[in-house]
Amino acid sequence: MQEIPKNHPRYQSLILRKKISEAHKAGVLAESGMIAHGRGEAFDYLLGEKTIPPAKRAIEVAAAQILLAQNPVISVNGNTAALSAREVIELSNKSGAKVEINLFYRTPERVDKIRRMLHNSGARKVLGTNDEDHLHLKGMEGPRSFVSAEGIYSADVVLVPLEDGDRAQALIANNKVVITIDLNPLSRTARSSSITIVDNLVRALPLLIQEVEKLKGEEQYKLEEMVRNFNNQVNLNDSLKAILGSYHADVKP
Ligand code: PTJ
């Protein structure tokens, strides 16, 4: 593929596209994953391609929630692996959250490729692989309903970046706290999750890692207070206001 010149005004965006299209060629990304990425790009443009204040707030609360959890799990799909495999593993190492592959378009080949990618990024243990016996998550159909017994099935908190609405709703119905990272504040996932970070995965994950490190020594009651004081619907409305407001004044044409 052609080299992207560093001085290109949309360098960062083109680098992400390159990662996405290479991951598709490598069989990691579902075909629909490219469409999902394009939709994300449009929303990111409206956000000014930066982390808006409501997202920063949601990231702080998400970090507190992950640190409070008994069995936190990061659910990984093709897009997440393609864009942020290293950060997923870093977050897992720093927070103690488990890593589980859970795919909409599940095939043994894709699972294996994503597993290898996660191991190459430093993962010690990956759940949801082809070798594991899976349990059925109530209220879900298809391959996404197969979850790991020690992972999503028994998790109290699940981080599901870049997800489809059905799964977020099914996880909530199974009494999980759902944290999502979704550029679209109007999506079903964004609306039904417990904590929605309206930001690009590639910006949100490094900030989430930083926040986990910062809050690690914090007293439990303070973390609980942060979670209690957070209202996802209010934060989503603030995200919409940010889109409509002046936050995107400096977007590059
Ligand atoms: O890998 P699989 O088989 O599990 O398939 C995964 C896809 C992405 C195809 C599946 O989950 C899907 O169809 O997703 P949706 O319903 O298209 O939703 C994707 C959401 O993520 C949309 O709301 C996008 O705006 C948003 N999005 C896309 N790219 C990013 C993003 N959010 C944060 N960061 C991104 N980089």
Chain centroid to Cα 27, Å, comes to 20
CA 43 to ligand 1 center in whole angstroms:
12
CA distance 231 to 58: 9
CA 163 to ligand 1 center in whole angstroms:
5
CA 39 to ligand 1 center in whole angstroms:
8
Q: Residue 144: what pLDDT?
A: 75
DSSP 8-class letter at 9: T
CB 201 within 8 A of CB 184: no
CB 143 within 8 A of CB 152: no
Q: Which atom of ligand 1 is nearest to the CA of 144?
A: 4
Task: Tell me the Ramachandran region of residue 41: left when phi exceeds 0, alpha when psi lies from -120 to 50, beta otherwise.
Answer: alpha
Alpha helices, DSSP H, located in the chain: 11-25, 31-47, 53-68, 78-95, 108-120, 165-173, 188-192, 201-215, 220-228, 232-244
Reading the block at residue 126, the tokens are 């990956």
- Nearest Cα to 243, choosing from 60, 56, 11, 50? 50
Q: Residue 132: what pLDDT?
A: 87
Mean pLDDT by groups of 10 residues along the chain of 253 residues? 73 91 96 96 92 97 98 97 98 98 94 97 96 88 86 97 85 96 95 97 98 97 98 96 70 52
| Residue to mutate, 79, 84, 192, ligand 1, most ligand atoms under 8 Å from C-beta | 79
Q: Residue 112: what pLDDT?
A: 97
Q: Which atom of ligand 1 is nearest to the CA of 163?
A: 11
| Residue to mutate, 164, 180, 193, 205, ligand 1, most ligand atoms under 8 Å from C-beta | 164
For 134, the enclosing helix (H) or strand (E) is strand 134-136
Q: Which atom of ligand 1 is nearest to the CA of 102?
A: 4
Topology given in CATH for the domain delimited by 53-243: Rossmann fold (3.40.50)
Q: Where are the domains of the chain?
A: 53-243
Q: Whose CA is nearest to atom 13 of ligand 1?
A: 164
Q: Residue 250: what pLDDT?
A: 55
* Beta carbon of 43 within 6 Å of any ligand 1 atom: yes
pTM (predicted TM-score): 0.94
| Residue to mutate, 162, 184, 198, ligand 1, most ligand atoms under 8 Å from C-beta | 162
Q: Which atom of ligand 1 is nearest to the CA of 43?
A: 25
* Beta carbon of 33 within 6 Å of any ligand 1 atom: yes
| Residue to mutate, 39, 83, 167, 202, ligand 1, most ligand atoms under 8 Å from C-beta | 39
* Beta carbon of 74 within 6 Å of any ligand 1 atom: no
CA 37 to ligand 1 center in whole angstroms:
6
